[in-house]
Amino acid sequence: MPPLKSSAIYGGIPEQAPGALDGQLLAFAEDLRSEGVAIGTSEILDAFEALTHVSWTAQPDFKEALAATLAKSNDDRRIFELVFDRFFFRATEAQAARQKITESPGKRDGPQNSDINLDTLRQQIAAALRDGSDDAMRDLARLAIAAFGRGEGSGVLGVDVQRIRRALGLRTEPQPDLAEDDPRHDGLPRDQLRKFEQHLRRELERKAIERTSSLPPKRPLGDLERALPTGPIQDLAAVHKVVAQLKRRLATQGHELKGQKRHAHVDFRRTMRASLQTGGVPIALKYRPRRPRRPEIFVLCDVSTSVTSASTFFLSVLHALHDAFRKLRSFVFIERISEVTEVFERERDFRAASEAISRDAGVADISGYTDYGRVWLEFLALIEDELHPRATVIVLGDARTNGRPPRDDVFAAITQRAGRTFWLNPEPRLYWNYGDSVIAAYEKHCTAFECWRTDQLEDFVKALTQPAPT
């Protein structure tokens, strides 16, 4: 599969747009979303289409074209005016500052005509983290990348983020060797440090896409120096036992409808044969037997670092489902999605299947961190024509988006086409919706279960075998 253009994921950027402008406009749309303006893919497409008819260097026309396509109400327009002035002023200011960042006076490896030295930048970032200023953190993240993210980096965003963080001297523990008036002296709040890392990651992603004008090819876990666990055999046997119960329950569902209103087809041959006993008058109608339909199941399994402890259990569930059902398609994902149906059909040994997925399944490209929004978009594109009211979608994951857009609107489109959608979350309910968990946004469109043990899987089986809504 050829690499996707950035427009395929990020909203249809016109080919003629200046290379540095498309990323700025995407960042501007993210700022509007963070202020409560509802902007989806269609609005971004409309905005870029409108910009093809105006000069991007004419500020009044440029501004009005964006406002007409992105601001859908008077409140949206008011927020748009504030964010537009703030964003593009800061973008210009940040660009000018990038040209002036150098090492501290006295260091040999940088120019000496500095207006902003790196020690000052380090303290400004630490102060923003202590104050909890999200806007300042975003702008300073761009400056930090300009100062410490020279070149194309390592190619692994997580590595580059940590390298920049270390260069800035940002730590949660106290640093008594620093001056007492240095904001880093007493350590920095852990939650604010994570937010700053998210800003760094987003900016690095955007720069990578702008630099290459395309998304990188998919990479398997092996390229990230990670592998899936092979799992103990006894856990696998317990999961297979529960899934076997699921198969038996589904196989008898057709007979459990006895006494309910049903629309079976009349078997004319059997009816006429029975009528011979009543002189050819068909008094008792005979019906064709109702055969239970085979279940059609789509399973998506998160294999990111955050669910490592549950990976054995999740992969055991996939293995057992493939052993029990024929009409089943399975996928694994992190920030990209990869179908592994053929792997489980070919590899009956659990260890061999796990190793094949680690070696071959393309689940990452830019950062190696979970991106549910992109996963929903890719999944819907893959199976949109195959979803129908009798289909069941099962998601195995923790719903942690790493600060990326959850795209619950795309997830809702998937669930509307499927008959039933279930979510198995390996985290205890107590942790749901804390930090970057957005399970509440997805739970509106599916039935979610806490599930990381076989007894919890049994509860899910009972729910799955209930009659689907008509």
> Confidence class of residue 411 from pLDDT cuts 50, 70 and 90?
very high
- For residue 174, the 8-state DSSP code is -
Is residue 385 over pLDDT 80? yes
Average model confidence (pLDDT) across the chain:
76
CA 141 to chain centre: 23
pLDDT greater than 60 at residue 216: yes
| Burial class of residue 455 in the structure, from the number of CB atoms within 10 Å of its CB (0-12 exposed, 13-18 middle, 19+ buried) | exposed
- 391-396, strands of its sheet edge to edge: 337-339, 328-333, 296-302, 391-396, 420-425, 447-450
Q: What is the arithmetic mean of pLDDT over 303-316?
A: 82
User: Using CA atoms, how far apart are residues 264 and 288, in angstroms rounded to an integer?
Assistant: 7
pLDDT given for residue 301 in this prediction: 94
Distance of alpha carbon 344 from alpha carbon 314, whole angstroms: 13
Count the Cβ atoms, other than its own, within 10 Å of residue 30: 16
Q: Is residue 291 predicted with pLDDT exceeding 50? A: yes
* pLDDT of res. 341: 92
pLDDT at 87 over 50: yes
Question: Does residue 251 have a pLDDT over 70?
Answer: no
- Per DSSP, the three-state class of 75 is helix
Q: Of the given ranges (105-114, 153-162, 237-246), which has the lowest mean pLDDT?
A: 105-114
Task: Evaluate whether 396 touches 314 at the Cβ level (below 8 Å).
Answer: yes
In the chain, the domains with their CATH numbers are 6-212 (no CATH), 233-252+292-464 (3.40.50.410)
Average pLDDT estimate for 235-241: 81
Please report the pLDDT score of residue 181 as a whole number. 80
Query: Does the pLDDT of residue 156 top 80, yes or no?
Result: no
Distance CA 72, CA 36 (A): 12
Contact 422, 457 (CB under 8 A): no
pLDDT recorded at residue 150:
58
Candidate ranges 4-13, 184-193, 314-323, 406-415; pick with highest mean pLDDT:
406-415
- Beta-carbon contacts of 194 under 8 Å, excluding residues fewer than 6 positions away, are 435
Residue type at position 162: Q
Query: Which is higher by pLDDT, 379 or 17?
Result: 379
Report the alpha-carbon distance of residue 240 to residue 226 in Å, rounded: 26
The residue with tokens 């968990």 is: 437
State residue 125's pLDDT score: 86
* pLDDT at residue number 57: 67
Work out the percent of the chain whose per-residue pLDDT is above 70: 74
Length of the chain equals: 470
CA atoms of 68 and 53, how far apart (whole Å) = 13
Weakest-pLDDT range from 302-306, 343-347, 381-385, 459-463: 459-463
Task: Report pTM.
Answer: 0.57
Does residue 262 surpass a pLDDT of 50? no
